[in-house]
Structure 1
């Protein structure tokens, strides 16, 4: 049973998914405490009349216990045949369709190369907390349980044409409907000539991370840790070091790890679809360079990814809203009046209409007492707040102005995951959370795709949680584990 991506699942969603079926993939990506696992045989739906066990919030459970449960669940599903490895190596054509929605792409393994090669372009900042969390999950389960989402300019190349041909002419392996009204279909490409043609088409292209920045950062951290651990083994300096997730709290995307993960001497047998899609190959050494032994690639040198040709299937870019718990709406609006024009509205609908018609930068503040639209910031204050080392385009983004001006200068707070809550797309949900927490919702317009692409091409990254590209891949259709890889 599938689920949305892990970062789109609320606590209430976790409980609903757990109650819906004992084999929902949420047990792997967001496990709760072990006592909450229903005592039913794999594949047996829960009786709706049963009272679900109380679930402790996942952050109450230590990382080690939390993801040991995910590892044990994965093993149990493999032993019971809930998950079965495909016999033949394949790439997977993945289609999402629904009212006004059609997106097709390829799911496979993408090669993890040095960011300096600019093969895969991040466009968004990351935070250490989510990286530590996903690193604990991947290290403990030795698996990529859900794909990241990449976009590339395919120019109607061979890969795109083959994707469309497969979807039009071949029977799918899987057809499934989800609660958002989308139909998901999956096909396997196993013909080696077709796989080779896809790789030849993709090899010299560049991709943008549309979704999954924290998971991509985790791929890179895990890759460095595994290389360091194996180099220590070769040098005879390795000492057994248990995985310590707290050591990862200070890791950034490309910082060296504090300590390596001890490589498992005998990985558990795990589910896997063989995945062979590589976006790039290592650059050839100059002819004059001394020959060195070729490094043997391991499963940690690749990461599970969905790659979509954005010219054939333009992405849907939506906004990500903020909620500031404990900052009452009246106080938030009062503080803003010294730097912004503040327009008052009675309800969310009126405020959203005004926001839609307002010139950027503009923000809608919402809470229990109504809504307030912020427009026309004081240019002197705004200019002083925005950093000189960023481009004018970066400084003009609404999320940049929020993180550099409104949050620290107007409201006196930092933009971090503890002080600022994130709500994807849903303005009603943002308002409800603001009311529940006695705080203020900050409603934003979505960024423009060309602005995001230009910022990434210039080597910059937009502030965290600035973009929500869609539709996102459903979790649970294709999984990858290191043991079989």
Structure 2
């Protein structure tokens, strides 16, 4: 699809839970599919309410085709039963998340795929194929990905529409288990929609979270035999946030190597890094990691033993890290981890069965202990560093950084067949 100069966020008729058909909105929502810890997290969500959205985003069956068909059939059944109902009018949705001093507001809509959207990470082809098969079977976008853009930081254009809309009564409000309060409003006024369109028409977006979903949208559109720019498949569900107004939180994504025991991981270093045992618990280890200069990681196989890796051998770095990238990229912790440690020192295959990516530190430590493997605890990369590399067309190693707060899944869905012009 040919790129355009700006973003175009299209209204759609949202599909939402009927409050009187579920135990609570909290009980039917979920974190994004790639944040849910499997299988324990899936089981927890499934037992929260029989209509929890996890049954659509992470169905489980013996084979992929059965899983995807199961999700599609479940969606059809829930609509027929009135559990999910469609809004009468196309809308953009103002979405607010609040917890303590953290406040994030943005717009949920169907973003045209031909706009200037900057990725900053690579994707795993197998994950894209699985997500594409699920979306194709269900003809739905179940969860918005998170995009950021740099507005003026003041209440003009799209931001003015958001600030004005939140003064009214929301369509829904709920508080999820992580303590975040969520509210949603519909924007249907033609003047407001025009103001948003005009403001975004000269903006570009950075993918903060959801590279696989964006790649999935693109893959599905490319695979259409008669794709046109007016097709609902020419756009995808997103949450768009002006980070000049509402800065994102940035956190690390940790690695778990289930088939690499900690003793073997440490023995394999043989001078490649300085290795120091750390006293104290997890919080102390993370504090030490944060204040360590240069490239550094914490290795652990469970809640009682932590080692700090720092001061990598300069000759090893020079030999293992590609030289055709900017220095900023070459010095990233994620670059050093993948190119030097995983590829060259430990020889870990780049496969989902050999490397797991976990957003929550405690979950990473627990999973490593359960498998007898090693967790590599990471630090976050700043949003500005990510943006500058993306502007240069340089992608970071996948799962380098986690932006948030992430939108809750299940508050508003988009069905493709009902979204035709």
The two structures share one fold, judged by TM-score above 0.5: yes
- The residue number in structure 2 matching 1:18 is 46
Contact 2:259 2:354 in 1 (8 A): no
Structure 2, unpaired ranges of 5+: 1-27
- Counterpart for residue 94 of structure 1: 95
**1:332 and 2:265 equivalent?**
yes
Match of 2:86, SS state, is coil
Superposed, 1:388-467 pairs within 5 Å as: 388-424=323-359, 426-467=360-401
SS in 2 for 1:306: strand
Deviations 1:103-128 (A, max 9, x none): 00000010011xxx7x0000111001
Counterpart in 1 of 2:226? 230
Q: SS state of the match for residue 170, structure 2?
A: coil
Root-mean-square deviation (CA, aligned residues, Å) is 1.3
SS of the residue 2:330 aligns to: helix
Q: Secondary structure of 2:206's match? A: strand
Query: Partner residue of 1:480?
Result: 414
The counterpart of 2:150, out of the listed 153, 159, 168, is: 153
Structure with larger Rg:
1
Q: Deviation per CA, 1:236-266, whole angstroms, max 9, x where unpaired?
A: xxxxxxxxxxxxxxxxxxxxxxxxxxxxxxx
Match of 1:381 among 316, 319, 325: 316
Deviation for aligned residue 1:31: 1.2
Give the distance between the partners of 1:74 and 1:391, measured in 2 at CA. Answer: 46
Provide, for residues 59-83 of structure 1, a one-character-per-residue CA deviation record: whole Å limited to 9, x for no partner. xx21111111111111111111111
Equivalent pair of 2:92/2:187 in contact (CA under 8 Å): yes
1:24-43 map, 5 Å: 24-33=52-61
Distance in 2 (CA, whole Å) between partners of 1:454 and 1:417 is: 29
What is residue 137 of structure 2 aligned with on the other side?
Answer: 140
**Shift of residue 142, structure 1, vs aligned partner:** 0.5
Is 1:6 paired with 2:2? no
Instruction: Give the corresponding residue for 2:81.
Output: 80
Write out per-residue CA displacement over residues 137-158 of structure 1, whole angstroms, 9 at most, x where no aligned residue. Answer: 1100001111111000111331
Asked whether the 8 Å contact 1:320–1:465 carries over to 2, the reply is yes
Q: Tell me, yes or no, if the aligned pair for 1:348 and 1:366 is still in contact at 8 Å.
A: no
1:165 corresponds to which residue? 164
Q: 2-side partners of 1:397 and 1:460: how far apart? A: 12
Of the candidates 351, 354, 359, which is equivalent to residue 288 of structure 2?
A: 354
Shift of 1:170: 0.6
Number of equivalences? 387
CA distance in 2, matches of 1:433, 1:2: 24
Q: TM-score, normalised by structure 1?
A: 0.78
Partner SS for 2:34: helix
State TM-score, norm by structure 2: 0.89
C-alpha distance in structure 2 between counterparts of 1:21 and 1:197, whole Å: 39
What is aligned with 1:299? Answer: 232
Cα deviation, residue 389, structure 1: 1.8
Distance 1:429 1:25 in 2: 22
Displacement of 1:296: 5.2
SS in 2 for 1:336: coil
Maintained 8 Å contact 2:117/2:205: yes
C-alpha distance in 1 between matches for 2:229 and 2:221: 13
Contact 1:210 1:469 in 2 (8 A): yes
Larger strand proportion of the pair: 2
Question: Cα offset for 1:427?
Answer: 2.1
